Amino acid sequence: MTTQIMVQKALELAGIETLPCDSQIITPGTDVRRVLFGIDMETQELLLAKHLGFDCVVSHHPHAGSAMIEFAKVMEIQIDKMVGFGVPINRAQKALRKKQLSVDIGMHVSNYDRTASAAKLLNLAYFNVHMPADLITENEVQALLDQRFGGEPKATLGDVMDFLKGMEAYANAPAGPVIRVGSEKDYAGKIAVLMAGGTNGGAEVYKAYFDAGVGTIIAMHMPEDVKKAVEEQGYGNVIIAGHMASDSIGLRKIAEAWRGMGLEVVTMAGILAV
């Protein structure tokens, strides 16, 4: 099995055709059989993989190459998402700009060669799949919530929390769903699941959603400055579903697809079993 075929399957599951710039094959493999797969796979995990006899390591988060340097570019997809929820395109672009610039500045000075050179020295196939997995998660969670609450205008955050905690993906997660802004008795309103597009878009992005009529955002994680800004705005709600648990939804589907192609795939480093 080649790494290119493995990546193509991930893209197919995500419903996209081209590899996003936050995902990259660092060291290609042409005869992959045993895969070690985790959310954060760096030099220590590469050494473990070599010791255990794996020939390919796959990370979810980018820790090497242009997938790190160009990470901010993938955030552009958030503009389309905002527009889909009624945010004017000009506001969507400007709302994202501050956080996108901050991410770009941070990634530009990162050591993009550290893990890449380790993979090459260890002669291991190595790549990451970030946005494809996040899209799988986002689409699945959004569809389930739409199906459950689409006809219930007075559903509360408590109702949404009960539903999320009842999902197999979150039921036993150590860091599961939690209300960060709002209370259990608050009406949820229109729900937007924001789990793809690089990283959290920042306070202005959240404000834009709420001004466009979204009542509740469900995300993987939220910095404290965004929490404070949403609280000051006064009418939006935020539920944080959990980072590892949410990432694991899409990653498990990719792992199962690879197993179906004849590969041995062992998951670790944050990909949670259910």
Q: What is the pLDDT of residues 139-151, one digit of tens each?
A: 999 999 999 998 8
Looking at the fold, whether 164 and 226 belong to one and the same domain comes out as: yes
**Domain check: are 19 and 85 in the same one?**
yes
What's the confidence (pLDDT) of residue 233? 87
The stretch 70-97 carries a mean pLDDT of: 96
Please give the share of the chain, as a percent, with pLDDT higher than 70: 100
Please check whether residues 200 and 255 belong to one and the same domain. no
128 close to 67: Cβ distance less than 8 angstroms? yes
Three-state DSSP state, 86: coil
89 has pLDDT over 90: yes
- Tell whether 125 and 176 lie within a shared domain: no
Tallying the residues shown for the chain, one arrives at: 274
Instruction: Give 178-235 as a DSSP string.
Output: EEEES-TTSB--EEEEE--SSS---HHHHHHHHHTTEEEEEES---HHHHHHHHHH-S
Indicate whether 120 belongs to any domain.
Answer: yes
As for how many domains the chain has, the answer is 2
Task: Determine the Cα–Cα distance for residues 75 and 90; give it in Å rounded to an integer.
Answer: 15
> Are 148 and 236 in the same domain?
yes
Containing structural domain, residue 44: 3-130+246-268
**In-domain check, residue 237:** yes
| Same domain for 125 and 21 | yes
Domain for residue 273, yes or no? no
Mean pLDDT of the 127-156 span: 96
Average confidence (pLDDT) over 199-208: 91
What's the alpha-carbon Rg for the chain, to the nearest Å? 19
State the average pLDDT over residues 70-96. 96
- Whole-structure pTM value: 0.95
Instruction: Give me the phi and psi of 14, to 5 degrees please.
Output: -80, -10
Burial of residue 137 (number of CB atoms within 10 Å: 0-12, 13-18, 19+) = buried
Beta-carbon contacts of 61 under 8 Å, excluding residues fewer than 6 positions away, are 39, 40, 128, 130
Q: How many CB atoms lie within 10 A of CB 104?
A: 15
CATH of the domain at 200: 3.40.1390.30
Measured CA to CA, the distance from residue 78 to residue 13 in angstroms comes to 20
